[in-house]
Amino acid sequence: MAEDLLTQLKAMTTVVADTGDLDAIRRFSPTDATTNPSLILQAAQQDERRARLAAIAKSANDIDDALDAVAVEIGSEISSLVPGYVSTEVSARLSFNSEATLARAHSLIERYAQHGVGAERILIKIASTWEGIRAAKVLEREGIRTNLTLLFNFAQAQACADSGVTLISPFVGRILDWHKAQDPSADFSGDNDPGVQSVKQIYDHYKGHGYSTIVMGASFRNTGEIKALAGCDRLTISPALLEELAQETGSLERRLRSCDAETQAPEPQDEPEFRWSMNEDAMATEKLAEGIRKFMADQRKLETLLGELRK
């Protein structure tokens, strides 16, 4: 009997569940799990969590305290179901504030410790702004691992590698969304997908220069994008697409392969170079700003929910 594609993918890529749904995590047995404000909001709205979240909200000092407490509560539950990393995001509101990002990251790690979850299990998830990447560099030096998210172009990826971050999450589907909006009639299937091309470029560059930063493709719109990146270090996949892969049989070809580093790493970018590269890339500039706004919109909904539970 032919193996399903999800089983084949797990043999060449570390599969990560992009969800806060505990039942989905149990079903698909991923190695890691990632969350974000949108996924935490979905998990928080589940009826079976209501009483527990109300207790957390009422015991919190303020809404920020309640937000972090809820994220760590759900992250701790997830940590009992996966053997690897759990990614927990710093507030999108702090995306342009390095010092505040550091403080919240330290707070999250301390909260996880109180739940018996060690720092080695946690990836602090931070937007790939210049300020976020600077904060991640400090955290990595302190032994706190980071996941740089909302990553849309090569300049962001290079800055993350320069800073020694543990993992990056280049967003495949949102890159595709932007290009489809610009040219609706174009063929973006398979290897023509600009999001797939972006991850392949970053992956090949990292491996060719000996960077240790993990490349984890994210934000997929279809299983075709996942198949085109089979062999990537990690892929974080929604439950719906995990189900599609689990139901499909056939042969899955490895598309990305690691290699020995061939050339010396380039000189690190400075801030003006980074900002100019972002300015020159309309897609990355627009999608980064939009992503921060969307995460913040869902965070505000969660703040409203927790505020009501605090009454």
E strands within the chain?
Answer: 14-18, 32-34, 86-89, 122-127, 146-151, 167-170, 214-217, 234-237
Structural contact between residues 56 and 109, judged by C-beta atoms closer than 8 angstroms = no
Indicate the DSSP class of residue 34: E
Catalytic residue set = 125
Gyration radius of the chain over CA positions: 19
Q: Which position has the token pair 């090569």? A: 154
280's tokens: 């020159």
